[in-house]
Structure 1
Amino acid sequence: MITSWQRYAKDHPRVVDMVVIVQLFAAVALGSAFTTAGNSRTNGSFGLGVLLGGIACVALLWHRSHPRTVVAVTAVCGNTAGAAGCLLTPLLLAPVMAALYWLAVHTDRRTARVHCLAVTALLVATAMFFDPYGHPLALKTIGPAAWVVLPIAWGTASRLRSAYLEAVQARAEHAERTREEEARHRVAEERVRIARELHDVVAHHMALANALAGTAAHLAASRPEQTERILADLVGTTSTALRELKATVGLLRRPDDSEAPLEPAPGLGRLTELATAFASAGLTVDIVTEGERRPLSPGVDLTAFRIVQEALTNVAKHAAARAARVTLTYTHDRLTITVTDDGSGGTPVVPSPSGGFGLIGMRERAHSVGGRVRTGPRPEGGFSVTGELPIHL
């Protein structure tokens, strides 16, 4: 959790640096006065200690851009003050400790370790050779080393904590982006699915209705009885279209936990009904089954029916053919669907100014169940649609 002080420090780093440096200078001045008071052998050390402390504190202003140089300057100033007679206390060494802390924060562990050893060796040497107070050897070695290791350890811990928090933040942002991308992907998939369902329901029946209406208009004057039968078929086709459209929209609007009964999805069992509907529109459809017929998974059965339905709709709309052949070839684990037309010429049963998304929809449906669809013209004339689907998902 970021406090108001942390937020202010992040937004105004130079102001915070100045406040810290002023406090460090006060510590150096206090340390110089305290360590030189009452000792005749260190006369004049106070002024030199304050001067060197001021130089070290000014150097700290560049601790972000030049951390190694700042450590060197503050270490030289601290050791010079110690050589002049000032006692190497944490107060006097405050600028050096701050520089080492920032060095550990801004650089890597190896750099911090090397500078820690160098500054420790320099301070221990100064304490041993320039000691006007005659302190024990343990105090002259352990004390300076401790005051150097402490800020290095603290700075390293701060750097690792910051790196950890940044990694957590990065993972959270990545997870958020992933969720957003997944949501967009799901929306796109849902839009494609809805478009495919509506196309399968609407395009087929509207093509038949258009063909029946055109035929009825053509025969209205010369064959009224046949026209009446065609109009009856037209009513049945449009009623079926409305019923399937209503069922599809209802399915799309249905909550996931709804237990309302659904109309059975169409399958290859309705091919005869499909062929009869196209025959009413003037397209003769011959259905041939090769191999032993095998039960299909519901998804494969629906996909197979939609492929045949779309292929025959395209024949009626674009092929200018009067006959089509649907061949269902069953093997041990595959169903091959082949829809061909005679390409006999003339005008299409259902005139269409342009193509649509039927072929794309067929390929998408086949791919969704692990199959594929191939389309193309036949050498002997006409067009062929071949779909290969697994028997079971």
Structure 2
Amino acid sequence: MSTLTRARCRLQAHPFAADAALAAAVLACMVAGSFVDPHGPDGVDWGLRSPDPLSLVLMTLGALALVFRRRAPRTVLALAGGVSVAESVTGDPRAPVAMCAVVALYTVASTTDRPTTWRIGLLTTTVLTGTAMAAGPLPWYAQENLAIFAWTGIGATAGDAVRSRRAFVQAIRERAERAERTREEEARRRVAEERLRIARDLHDVVAHHIALVNVQAGVAAHVMDKRPDQAKEALAHVREASRSALGELRATVGLLRQSGEPEAPTEPAPGLDRLDELAGTFRSAGLRVEVARADQGTDLPAAVDLAAYRVIQEALTNVQKHAGTDARAEVSVVRVGPHIEVTVLDDGSGENPQDDPDDPDAPEDAPGGGHGLLGMRERVTALRGTLTTGPRYGGGFRVHAILPVEPRTSAARDSGR
């Protein structure tokens, strides 16, 4: 830290002492100037003179007032202006008492707004200059009178410039702080969204595969003694489902790895191209699933493709858990204009409760009282789509999702054209 910076910090820490030092310096300048005669004898431009005792008293009073310039700037300006007016009327020869009024005017201009600076500056300049020209012992055109006009204008202008710079620096600082707060809030929001997305993925993976494992394990336990071949087949399905669950969990949890750790798996996220494989896993668990597609090979955005896959996966998982052993599920994927519609129907005779915890009609002790439908709704809503779920007339349950095929920005651009 330089010497100038340290001195500035000390002065800012002790403002009263700084003002006292400034007042002493102004007093010294005024006293020294009072010994100089700009109109020397015998035509000499400069000379020496003896200051008037009243002028010394007025200079001392004006300097003392400057000690309190930060606490009451307008009052100090009024006192310094009054002292300057008195010296202009009585001083002969003239002493530079107006210097204290210039410093006080600078203080007022640096601590108030520009319109107030204009009003007070014009008033001070007019009063001091007009009094010196009209009532002073010197001619009105004397250079001392013109100097009062110039110095008061300089004081007001300098104070306004300092105030403007302070306001500019403060605005930059506030803008930087606001940008920092906004950046932190945006980071927290993105972390929360990513955490919610990972939670949805984990729920979808675990709910689907664990449901299959549960069904196949029950089948294996039921036929272990009488039909060991069928039990082995069921256990093979359990092994396959658990392997798939571990693979998807590894891919999802890999997103949480820190820098420097082993690279996360790079397997692409599942989509509708794996719909037949998904239906096959449920068929192997004993659920009759029919798939109908009329999307004409639509190339979906990655987010929409994943959301459609997860909606079908969660809906079939709910059918597997709640619709009964004789249930039959129908899955349809249809392209309708700029949207793709995904529908999952079942005709199960068992209960298929909506496992949305926000639904007041959902039973509290329902075995599916989780976050499946809530996760589906969040996925679809995040993509500007719509999701409707509910019981079917005559029995069963219906899940219907409408997802946009094109990104929102592209659709808005096309509509604008």
Tell me the residue number matched to 2:342: 337
Q: 1:314 to 1:9 in 2, by over 3 A?
A: farther
CA distance, structure 1, for counterparts of residue 352 and residue 153 of structure 2? 93
Q: CA deviation at 1:187?
A: 2.0
Deviations 1:209-243 (A, max 9, x none): 12211222233334333222111111111122223
- Within-5 A mapping of 1:131-210: 131-132=136-137, 134-135=138-139, 137-210=141-214
- Provide structure 1 residue ranges, at least 5 long, that are not aligned to the other structure: none
Q: Root-mean-square deviation (CA), in Å?
A: 3.4
Deviations 1:175-213 (A, max 9, x none): 222222222222222222322333333321122112211
Tell me the residue number matched to 1:327: 332
Tell me the residue number matched to 1:84: 90
CA distance, structure 2, for counterparts of residue 37 and residue 153 of structure 1? 30
Tell me the residue number matched to 1:23: 25
* Correspondent of 1:108 among 107, 113, 124: 113
Q: 1:5 to 1:334 in 2, by over 3 A?
A: same
Q: Which has the higher contact order (CA 8 A, sep 6+)?
A: 1
CA distance, structure 2, for counterparts of residue 242 and residue 372 of structure 1? 31
| Identical counterparts, % of pairs | 43
Worse-superposed segment, 246-255 or 99-108: 246-255
Contact preservation (8 Å) 2:287, 2:329: yes
Tell me the residue number matched to 2:414: none
Tell me the residue number matched to 2:12: 10
- Within-5 A mapping of 1:346-361: 353=367, 355-361=369-375
Tell me the residue number matched to 2:52: 46
Tell me the residue number matched to 2:79: 73
Worse-superposed segment, 164-173 or 311-320: 311-320
Amino acid corresponding to residue 124 of structure 1 in structure 2: T
- Within-5 A mapping of 1:297-316: 297-316=301-320
Q: CA deviation at 1:160?
A: 0.9
Amino acid corresponding to residue 50 of structure 1 in structure 2: L
CA distance, structure 2, for counterparts of residue 376 and residue 347 of structure 1? 9
CA distance, structure 2, for counterparts of residue 191 and residue 163 of structure 1? 42
1:57 and 2:63 are equivalent in the alignment: yes
Worse-superposed segment, 352-361 or 369-378: 352-361
Contact preservation (8 Å) 1:104, 1:156: yes
CA distance, structure 2, for counterparts of residue 139 and residue 12 of structure 1? 38
Contact preservation (8 Å) 1:88, 1:144: no
> TM-score when scaled to structure 1?
0.85
Q: 1:259 to 1:289 in 2, by over 3 A?
A: same
Contact preservation (8 Å) 2:237, 2:284: yes
Deviations 1:38-93 (A, max 9, x none): 99xxx99733223223332333344334322221211111110221115555x422
Worse-superposed segment, 122-131 or 18-27: 122-131
- Provide structure 2 residue ranges, at least 5 long, that are not aligned to the other structure: 42-48, 354-364, 408-417
CA distance, structure 2, for counterparts of residue 87 and residue 195 of structure 1? 89
1:117 and 2:122 are equivalent in the alignment: yes
